[in-house]
Amino acid sequence: MPSRSGRHFLQIPGPTNVPDRILRAMDRPTIDHRGPGFAQMAGEIFEGLKQIFGTGGSVVIYPSSGTGAWEAAIVNVLRAGDHVLMFETGQFAGLWRKMAERFGLVVDFVPGDWRRGVDAASVEAKLADDKTHRIKAVMVVHNETSTGVTSRIPPIRRAIDRTGHPALLMVDTISSLGSIDYRHDEWGVDVTVGCSQKGLMLPPGLGFNAVGAKAAAVAKEGGMPRSFWDWDEMIKANRAGYFPYTPATNLLYGLREAIDMLLDEGLPGVFARHARHAEATRRAVRAWGLDILCAEPEEYSNITTAVMMPEGHDADRLRATILDRFDMSLGTGLGKLAGKVFRIGHLGDFNDLMLMGSLSGVEMGLTVAEVPHRAGGAQAAMHYLASTN
Ligand SMILES: *Cc1c(COP(=O)(O)O)cnc(C)c1O
């Protein structure tokens, strides 16, 4: 890699830019994870994480990526042969489904066009049809990072409740936690899956499960053979501030700092900041004359915007041009969207001028790569940012 001056713009929807405060917090000697100093820190982290997840219950922390936390959620409450209901919202929903099938779950995968979120009416119809309660869980991705679509969780909960069906509600908040409003307890979620490198502004390496009381009870009786991912062992050790095996100590230093940063700003302020940057981004995209992949304005993602390329133009060629000329990484089109969309990540440690740098880089890139568009997208975003706060 040639040496570059200035900071690289990492505008993919995760991993996100790690703030200096967090980098400095991690740049310390690793301590004894069985000593008293550690237990004190762990106690603070668990308290803070509960606020981030919106739960009074347990949050489990794994040294893993988000995929590990997906697996933990499955093996603690489900058994091979169990039926589960999932929705094709995009690439990540598809990957979680593939994992579920590898564990022998029978997945009813409701097809989708990758442009909208989970339809609560379809949840209700599927559960109402399931008179014998074969379906053990409804598993949804809150923010589909591959498409920039956010499913609304409360209507899904209400749909489940209307049928009186006992299925667990399991939600992937891997890219929404700490950037889009989310409330594990209030929204009646049983298991929430999260990880470190998106809204929490940390490097990759931590996975989370928030565990509701009903899910904890199911796990006590059931689930699959498990050891590393077992909630019960974790939660017991965590009560005293410890872990059953060596935790990712330096990432936990960073996590404590990230929680401080989010709670200092206040979660409502963090969510509003993301919503405003998302709106500015969409105004830029419309001014360029390009289309936003998400077809349902109520489901626009506040953390990433997937932009459709004009027919005959390759999104990855544009991304390569922008990386080469302006040292900015944009998200690639995943799965069936490869080459067709690029994604602008606007989440984590982010402010107005970072957004303007990103949008200027996209607009210049569209010109350099000769992608048909109108000028003025960055201007439209500037106008919006200057007139709101
Ligand atoms: C990133 C992401 C994942 C996968 O997480 P990894 O940390 O890459 O394992 C799963 N679901 C969603 C919604 C994501 O954005």
Which one of 92, 149, 173, 192 would you pick to mutate in the ligand 1 pocket, going by the greatest count of ligand atoms within 8 A of its CB? Answer: 92
Residue 389 has pLDDT above 80, yes or no: yes
Cα-based angle 332, 333, 338 (whole degrees, multiple of 5): 120
From the CB of residue 353, how many other CB atoms can be counted at a distance below 10 Å? 9
Nearest ligand 1 atom to alpha carbon 65: 7
Question: pLDDT at position 334, please?
Answer: 98
Q: 228-258, pLDDT tens digit by residue?
A: 999 999 999 999 999 999 999 999 999 999 9
Lowest pLDDT segment from 1-5, 158-162, 322-326: 1-5
Mean pLDDT of 26-38: 96
Residue 2 has pLDDT above 80, yes or no: no
* Ligand 1 midpoint to CA 88 (Å): 15
In Å, how far are 120, 165, 193, 229 from 106, measured between CA atoms?
21, 18, 20, 21
> Can you tell me the distance from the alpha carbon of 296 to that of 113, in angstroms, rounded to the nearest whole number?
12
Assess contact for 45 and 252: CB atoms under 8 A: yes
From the CB of residue 97, how many other CB atoms can be counted at a distance below 10 Å? 19
Mean pLDDT of 249-275: 98
Q: For residue 375, what pLDDT band results from cuts at 50, 70 and 90?
A: very high
Beta bridge partners of 44: none
Q: 79-137, pLDDT tens digit by residue?
A: 999 999 999 999 999 999 999 999 999 999 999 999 999 999 999 999 999 999 999 99
In Å, how far are 117, 174, 283, 300, 310 from 293, measured between CA atoms?
12, 20, 14, 9, 12
* Complete domains list, the chain, with CATH: 9-16+266-387 (3.90.1150.10), 20-264 (3.40.640.10)
> Can you tell me the distance from the alpha carbon of 110 to that of 149, in angstroms, rounded to the nearest whole number?
16
Residue 105 amino acid letter: L
Closest residue CA from atom 2 of ligand 1: 174
In DSSP notation, 194-217 reads EESSSTT-PPS--EEEEE-HHHHH
Assess contact for 177 and 120: CB atoms under 8 A: no
Closest residue CA from atom 12 of ligand 1: 174
> Can you tell me the distance from the alpha carbon of 209 to that of 251, in angstroms, rounded to the nearest whole number?
17
Residue 142, classed as helix, strand or coil, is: coil
Q: 213-234, pLDDT tens digit by residue?
A: 999 999 999 999 999 999 999 9
Question: pLDDT at position 3, please?
Answer: 82
* Ligand 1 midpoint to CA 124 (Å): 27
Which one of 195, 229, 301, 302 would you pick to mutate in the ligand 1 pocket, going by the greatest count of ligand atoms within 8 A of its CB? Answer: 195
Residue 22, classed as helix, strand or coil, is: helix
Q: Any idea what DSSP says for residue 103?
A: T
Residue 59, classed as helix, strand or coil, is: strand
Nearest ligand 1 atom to alpha carbon 197: 7
Half-sphere exposure of 24 (CA within 13 A, CB side): 3
Average pLDDT along the chain: 98
In Å, how far are 73, 348, 387 from 345, measured between CA atoms?
26, 9, 22
> Can you tell me the distance from the alpha carbon of 59 to that of 61, in angstroms, rounded to the nearest whole number?
7
What DSSP element (H or E) covers 221? Answer: helix 213-221
Phi/psi of residue 361, each to 5°? -65, -40
Which one of 91, 174, 304, 347 would you pick to mutate in the ligand 1 pocket, going by the greatest count of ligand atoms within 8 A of its CB? Answer: 174
Residue 54, classed as helix, strand or coil, is: coil
Q: For residue 372, what pLDDT band results from cuts at 50, 70 and 90?
A: very high
> Can you tell me the distance from the alpha carbon of 314 to that of 341, in angstroms, rounded to the nearest whole number?
8
Nearest ligand 1 atom to alpha carbon 70: 10
Mean pLDDT of 64-70: 98
Closest residue CA from atom 4 of ligand 1: 66
Beta bridge partners of 171: 140, 192
Q: 80-90, pLDDT tens digit by residue?
A: 999 999 999 99
Tokens of 259: 């929680």
* Ligand 1 midpoint to CA 243 (Å): 24
* Ligand 1 midpoint to CA 198 (Å): 9
Closest residue CA from atom 6 of ligand 1: 66
> Can you tell me the distance from the alpha carbon of 269 to that of 18, in angstroms, rounded to the nearest whole number?
19
Q: For residue 185, what pLDDT band results from cuts at 50, 70 and 90?
A: very high
Ligand 1 pocket (Cβ < 6 Å) reads: 14, 65-67, 92, 141, 145, 172, 174-175, 195, 204
Q: 277-331, pLDDT tens digit by residue?
A: 999 999 999 999 999 999 999 999 999 999 999 999 999 999 999 999 999 999 9
> Can you tell me the distance from the alpha carbon of 53 to that of 218, in angstroms, rounded to the nearest whole number?
20
> Can you tell me the distance from the alpha carbon of 161 to that of 94, in angstroms, rounded to the nearest whole number?
26
Q: For residue 350, what pLDDT band results from cuts at 50, 70 and 90?
A: very high
* Ligand 1 midpoint to CA 162 (Å): 31
Residue 76 amino acid letter: N
Question: pLDDT at position 1, please?
Answer: 65
Tokens of 287: 């001014």
Assess contact for 125 and 108: CB atoms under 8 A: no
